[in-house]
Structure 1
Amino acid sequence: MATKQIKLMDIALARSGDKGNGSNVGVIARSPEIYAYLDKELTAARVAAHFSEIALGGVTRYELPNLNAFNFILEESLGGGGTETLITDAQGKVHGLAILHMVIDIEESLITTIKKT
């Protein structure tokens, strides 16, 4: 099946924040069809590779199919947490935007689904 490269931001939304020394990144698919596709493509390993320079303790993925969403915990990504770190984004707020810049291959048949959302 033919694929096209796009940024995750073209098919999903994201929110992020802190969980102690880890950040919490939620990704919401724009349709159930896109959620089903991302369920296979947006793995914890893929997100860990994308955040390899900051998620020093690994990545855990949680599925929320009733919301067409995923929740990723990026362990040890905040340099000790909001009150203990000198990093600029001590609460991981930019991590949601960072995941949306991930480039993925998507089946061209889903392109029409994207345009409808």
Structure 2
Amino acid sequence: MKLRELAHSRTGDKGNTLNVSVICHDARHYEHLRREVTAERVKAFLGDVVRGAVERYELPCIGAFNFVLCEALGGGVTRSLALDAHGKSLSSALMDLDIAAPD
């Protein structure tokens, strides 16, 4: 199944760093997504777009995760030649991540 079936996403940027929040549609799926959507999987899935580290912050009280993707915006909004210098399309791409169905 696709991540978008269990969660939605929001993004924010600061310089060359992108924040991608993954927010569960239903808090019952939080632990499942905690196991499935790791920083390592996010970095591998987004490939060469993310040149730096990926760090995951857990927010269980609101059923969400915040991923901080370093060196992910081609130098930042004012320096990047990317069509989406803010990285909004990366959050949409991440929602295409294949995950196991919950039990």
Q: TM-score range by the shorter chain?
A: over 0.9
Structure 1: tracts of 5 or more residues without a match: 1-5, 110-117
Residue 56 of structure 2: which of 56, 61, 64 is its match?
Answer: 61
What is the total number of aligned residue pairs between the two structures? 103
Asked whether the 8 Å contact 1:13–1:100 carries over to 2, the reply is yes
Using the size of structure 1 for normalisation, the TM-score is 0.83
Matched, 1:19 2:14: yes
Structure 2 letter corresponding to 1:52: G
Residue 9 of structure 1: which of 4, 7, 15 is its match?
Answer: 4
Structure 2 letter corresponding to 1:95: L
Matched, 1:95 2:90: yes
1:112 aligned partner: none
Using the size of structure 2 for normalisation, the TM-score is 0.94
Residue pairs, 1:44-55, within 5 angstroms:
44-55=39-50
2:69 aligned partner: 74
**What is the alpha-carbon root mean square deviation over aligned residues?**
1.0
Larger Rg: 1
Percent identity over the alignment? 45
Please state which structure has a larger fraction of its residues in strand.
1
Q: Any runs of at least 4 consecutive aligned residues in structure 1 with deviations exceeding 3 A, and if so which?
A: none
